[in-house]
């Protein structure tokens, strides 16, 4: 798609339902579109929509080897509920092999490098088979995501990127979850609004930013999949 085509598609889908954006992606890129989910409530909402619409979209997750047990159980529950296979895409190195090469607990010393090894590089390898990928990002999640279009060019991976929930709020997401009784991670009820790898995710106190629990001791809000690495900045104030 040319830049003009992408802009036109994004404008046409602005304000549409997630189902409309998903149908457009499946029809525009038959057999060449994937959905990378991290099992947040947004991802669960999109998986529900993909299953209900019976869309030919390849669903996968980045299995870093550091997921919460609750996240892994949700993964299996979603497969059972929707009768779908969610592929696990793993890094080249196991956690143990990474420790041999980089030292123990790399995420505590160089979280950008850890995210690159366990998330960005595996996703980059996976993207070779696709012309487009679907994400669950919303504009109000982080400053880096504030300008996300429903359809946009992903320069990092050289693909078309489709964000069906770009304009949705957290309240809209949770309304859909309740309306359709969509399974979500039980950690959300324990103070974890945003969940990543277990060593890099903590609970959030009332009044804190929903992503304050991600890489709490670093000035980092993105793992590098959707925005720039930021952990080289000074650590967050405690």
Active site residues: 223
SS3 85: coil
State the helix-helix crossing angle for 18-28 and 3-13, rounded to 10 degrees: 150
CA–CA gap between residue 8 and residue 149 (Å, rounded): 11
CA–CA gap between residue 237 and residue 235 (Å, rounded): 6
Strands 58-62 and 132-134: unpaired
CA–CA gap between residue 71 and residue 52 (Å, rounded): 22
CA–CA gap between residue 46 and residue 52 (Å, rounded): 10
**DSSP element (H, E) containing 15:** none
CA–CA gap between residue 136 and residue 131 (Å, rounded): 17
Token couple for 71 = 């996240």
CA–CA gap between residue 28 and residue 119 (Å, rounded): 27
Token couple for 133 = 């990928």
Cα–chain-centroid distance for residue 139?
13
Token couple for 19 = 């189902």
**DSSP element (H, E) containing 160:** strand 159-162
């Amino acid at each position: 798609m040319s830049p003009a085509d992408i802009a036109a598609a994004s404008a046409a889908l602005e304000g549409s339902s997630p189902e409309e954006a998903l149908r457009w992606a499946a029809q525009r890129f038959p057999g060449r579109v994937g959905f990378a989910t991290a099992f947040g409530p947004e991802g669960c909402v999109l998986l529900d929509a993909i299953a209900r619409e019976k869309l030919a979209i390849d669903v996968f997750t980045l299995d870093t080897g550091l997921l919460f047990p609750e996240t892994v159980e949700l993964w299996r529950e979603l497969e059972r509920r929707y009768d779908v296979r969610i592929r696990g895409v793993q890094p080249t190195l196991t956690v143990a092999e990474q420790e041999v090469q980089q030292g123990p607990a790399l995420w505590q010393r160089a979280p950008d490098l850890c995210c690159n090894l366990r998330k960005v590089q595996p996703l980059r390898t996976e993207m070779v088979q696709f012309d487009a990928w679907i994400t669950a990002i919303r504009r109000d999640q982080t400053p880096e995501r504030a300008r996300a279009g429903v359809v946009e060019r992903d320069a990092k991976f050289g693909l078309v990127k489709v964000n069906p929930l770009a304009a949705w709020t957290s309240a809209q997401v949770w309304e859909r979850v309740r309306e359709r009784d969509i399974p979500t991670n039980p950690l959300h009820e324990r103070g974890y609004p945003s969940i990543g790898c277990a060593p890099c995710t903590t609970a959030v106190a009332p009044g804190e930013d929903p992503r304050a629990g991600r890489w709490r001791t670093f000035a980092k809000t993105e793992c590098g999949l959707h925005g720039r690495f930021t952990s080289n900045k000074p650590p967050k104030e405690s």
